[in-house]
Amino acid sequence: MAGTTSTTIETLSPELLAEIFWHCVYDHPDKVSVPRWRSHAPLLLGRVCSRWRTISVSAPEIWSTIVIGGHGTKDKSVKYRKDIDAARVWVSRSGTCPLTFNINEWDPTNRAEEYGAELRQVLELVVSQFRRWSKILAVLPRPFMKMLLVPLIEGDTPKLEEFQSQSITSGDMGGFDPWSFVLSSTPHLKRLKVLCEPISIDFGDQIHHVQFIHIMPMRPLDAKPSLLDLLQCLIRCPSLTTLALQIGGCSPAATLRRSLPNVIALTDLHTLKLSFNATIDPYLVFDRLYLPSIKHIVLTMRQCTQADWPHLASMLERSHPPLETLNLYNVPMTERTLIECLSFTPKLVNLDVRGIHCSDLALASLTIDDNEGSNPAISWPYLTIVALGPPSLLSPNALKAMILSRWAGAKASDDNTVTPGKALQVVRCPSESVRDMLSDPDICHCITGGLTVEQE
């Protein structure tokens, strides 16, 4: 049997073996971390026999993902010298294939002088292949990150599909000069994530097919995108599924109105995380948004001068989305407007509100009344997290009533499926609202059963 198996393998064509080798290396379609160990593919393949070595070395696709760094704290300079040699081999064997670089140097200790020269040499090799970049995934100390950003800024990465970077800093919090890049210079870009660096994007006048944008600086004051940039992003990137931006610059209302269409529709967007610096009010944008697929909204506003902000409610009413997460931080909204927002989110799972004056009225709206009829329509049947932070003033009795009405307890089904209306798992409220309630026997029973009650 062993001889038959060996003969069968030996009769496979080089093309089929190369395909099998590819699956040995990339056992998951999104895999971007290929170990450089002799006991793992692709190096292991060349140790089986001379034929396999010849075929594996001649299969450029299996050498097109290059992992650098992740070395811990000892002997980094020696390990980065090995990275240089290995990266050269991988690049030479990858032929003309688009390249993925996974670079991980998480070092907040500011000891880069011990290995900086070697790391810089590796990054110089990475940058030399910028026209072949397909994916860049990088975690680096800030002085080294700029080396990777330069090709993006200069706009010469024609094959780039994904760029994700996170800069690590310690001590000096000062950043690089603000930088930007022209999105049209990366026509195949699908995912862009830049953390802890000041960045702005020139969206131009054409439509882009990017699906994921996540731009967050180290500090809110470092944010470069303006309201007009946000508007251009929403208009020029209709394929977006995820958008996370810190908006740092205000744009005159007259300028925005000249650029605004009647409706801004993003039918594929499911996650929206926006944070606005002091006094920036995005009402003109929200009054036109149509987001029928949105599932997660995280909205932060700072020192907005409005007394009430009904623009989110109008967007939700217009969109009728399957919203699951609603996190509102310092949005200038009255309690009644918040309740109106909730009325348009029947599938809500996670509610986290801070900076809105909530009272027992909000708790009453979240409380299930089992006496409303034999088959009452349950509002938010899968609500799992309720967080009503400061400056909310909530009475212990109203909070207890809401919890008990949504706590499964003995009503949980035997097959562990969630009973509609009994999905509550986490409650977070101001300490003065929770403190007296924690000694209540019924609440203690819920906590013993798995409910988490936290003080803010």
3-state secondary structure of 160: coil
Inform me whether the pLDDT recorded for 391 exceeds 90.
yes
255 sits in which H/E element:
helix 253-259
Interval 194-203 mean pLDDT? 89
| Per-residue exposure over 150-162, b if at least 16 CB sit within 10 Å of its own CB, e if not | ebbeeeebebbbb
**Amino acid at position 441, single letter:** P
Q: Give 272's contacts (C-beta < 8 A, 6+ positions apart).
A: 243, 244, 291, 294, 296, 297, 298, 299
The overall average pLDDT reported for the chain is 87
Residue with tokens 């209540």: 440
CA separation for the pair 322, 344 (Å, rounded): 9
φ and ψ at 397, to 5 degrees? -65, -45
Other C-beta atoms closer than 10 Å to the C-beta of 336 total 14
Inform me whether the pLDDT recorded for 176 exceeds 60.
no
Count of CA atoms in the C-beta half-sphere (13 A) of 115: 28
Interval 8-33 mean pLDDT? 75
**Amino acid at position 385, single letter:** I
Return the pLDDT at 39. 64
Query: What pTM does this model have?
Result: 0.89
Other C-beta atoms closer than 10 Å to the C-beta of 276 total 25
Least confident of 66-75, 144-153, 174-183: 174-183
Interval 333-349 mean pLDDT? 97
pLDDT in tens, 342-377: 999 999 999 999 999 999 999 999 999 876 543 446
Inform me whether the pLDDT recorded for 13 exceeds 50.
yes
φ and ψ at 195, to 5 degrees? -110, 140
Task: Decide which of 330 and 416 is more confident.
Answer: 330
CA separation for the pair 93, 57 (Å, rounded): 6
Residue with tokens 């970077």: 165
Interval 165-176 mean pLDDT? 67
Return the pLDDT at 437. 86
Q: Which residue, among 43, 47, 48, has the nearest Cα to 67 in the 3D structure? A: 43
C-alpha separations of 132 from 28, 261, 270 in Å: 22, 38, 31
Task: Decide which of 222 and 170 is more confident.
Answer: 222
| Per-residue exposure over 203-225, b if at least 16 CB sit within 10 Å of its own CB, e if not | beeeebebbbbbbbbbebebbbb
Residues facing residue 237 across a β-bridge: none
φ and ψ at 149, to 5 degrees? -75, -25
CA separation for the pair 398, 454 (Å, rounded): 16
Report H helices in 344-448. 360-366, 396-406, 431-434, 441-448
Domain ranges of the chain: 9-63
CA separation for the pair 424, 421 (Å, rounded): 8
CA separation for the pair 276, 274 (Å, rounded): 7
Q: Which residue, among 308, 306, 314, 309, has the nearest Cα to 290 in the 3D structure? A: 314
The answer to whether 448 and 407 are in contact (CB under 8 A) is: no
pLDDT in tens, 47-80: 888 888 898 889 999 899 999 988 877 888 898 9
